[in-house]
Amino acid sequence: MAFRFKPTERIEDGFQRIVAEQIARAQQILRTADEQSVAVHEARKSIKRLRALLRLVRPSIGEKTFKSENAFLRDIGLSLSGARDCFVLAETLKTLGAEAQIEPRSLIAEVCECIAGNSEASDPQQTRLAIKRADALLDDAKARLEALKFAGSQFDVVGAGLEQSYRRARLAFAEAYRSGDDEAFHEWRKGAQTHWRQMLLLAPAWPAYLGARAAEARALSQLLGDDHDLAVVVAFLQSDATTDVDEKGRVLIVAKARDAQQALRVEAHARGQRLFAAGPKRLRRAVGEFWNAAAALKALEDDRTAEPSCNGGNGGKARKRVSNVGRKVRKSAE
């Protein structure tokens, strides 16, 4: 169940195949996982993959349709987020306490008690109901996405969406370091996650290069994810939910969280410079050429393994496909 397009299939067909695979994956884990936290986490990952896929075809389906379908998927993910967010907040606090050697140790435990006491989403029954609702809504999402119509053909269906998503991520990178705001870094994180997943989708065009970009974007999104988790810790400690915790203790944890964020942001900046070095149009053009070349190479491979035919048969057709695609590649490079 690889999250990939295939150079030999129509992009439209690949879109529907991937939608069916990811929704089936999410529903299976929601129905069978022994632990609710695992079910929620894995299902949300499938939903995030679907949203990255949707952004890749955004210009091809139109802005109105994109916003409607993206909001539908987003709301399914949000319906599952409560229990997971509570779990991540507590785990981030515990990790920070250990790595920053925060004393007294009881301070972290006290804040974790506040988290549990202020989260209705930690109720297992509420989580079970949310899982059941999300399972049903995923059936609706599948039907909605299967009904989409696309403008363009082959790489044109995704080319403009790739350029648009990448440009947004690049701008978010610049804005994050200009403003220094937690929300700006969160926006950059979302852009990096989208680029990671879109590189996975298109990796068969040139696995070595696009796979490396996917790996780099994944590493960056994980750094920014850790940064966001710390920002949530800071926001929680500055909320009314922790007013019963000693003020000096809260100030200490916030300071340690900010120090950890700063270290993460130094590394993220270097990774961002490397990942987002190319301009959006340049990246789109290059990936398009890779895609056309990959289709040509696959056709040539099929031709070589086909049964010989005295009248040219399948072999002749395959060679014609290679020639046609080759001309397109040369034309796009001019």
Q: Are 58 and 119 in contact (CB under 8 A)?
A: no
pLDDT tens-digit profile of 27-58?
Answer: 999 999 888 888 999 999 999 999 999 999 99
pLDDT band, residue 168 (cuts 50/70/90): very high
Task: Tell me the average pLDDT across 73-93.
Answer: 90
Task: Tell me the pLDDT band of 308, cut-offs 50, 70 and 90.
Answer: low
Taking CA 31 as the corner, what is the angle to CA 30 and CA 32, rounded to the nearest 5 degrees? 100
User: Number of C-alpha atoms within 13 angstroms, CB side, residue 237?
Assistant: 28
Whether residue 303 is predicted with pLDDT greater than 50 in this model: the reply is yes
Residues 6+ apart with CB under 8 A from 26: 42, 43, 46, 47, 134, 138
- Rounded to the nearest integer, the mean pLDDT of the chain is 90
> On the CB side of 46, how many CA atoms lie within 13 Å of its CA?
27
Residue 297 has pLDDT above 50, yes or no: yes
**26, 173 in Cβ contact below 8 A?**
no
% of residues, the chain, pLDDT over 90: 78
pLDDT tens per residue, range 57-72:
999 999 999 999 999 9
**Type of residue at 334:** E
Tell me how long the chain is: 334
User: Which positions ≥6 away from 200 have C-beta within 8 Å?
Assistant: 3, 4, 214
Distance, CA of 9 to CA of 303 (rounded, Å): 16
Q: Look at residue 332 and tell me whether its pLDDT is greater than 50.
A: no
Mean pLDDT, range 73-84, rounded to an integer? 89
Pick from 77-91, 199-213, 269-283: least confident: 77-91
pLDDT band, residue 324 (cuts 50/70/90): low
**pLDDT reading at 105 higher than 60:** yes
Cis peptide before 104 (omega within 30 of 0): yes
Say whether 310 sits in a helix, a strand or coil.
Answer: coil
Per-residue pLDDT band at 134 (split at 50, 70, 90): very high
**Torsion, CA 221, CA 226, CA 231, CA 235, rounded to 10:** 120
Q: What is the mean pLDDT of residues 263-282?
A: 98
Backbone φ and ψ of 180, nearest 5°: 75, 5
Residue 284 has a pLDDT of 98
Greater model confidence, 315 or 60: 60
The answer to whether 289 and 329 have CB atoms below 8 angstroms apart is yes
- What confidence score (pLDDT) does residue 326 get? 46
Higher pLDDT, 258 or 311: 258
Can you read off the two tokens belonging to residue 247?
A: 């003020």
Q: Quick one: pLDDT band at residue 323, thresholds 50, 70, 90?
A: very low
Higher-confidence residue of 2 and 77: namely 77
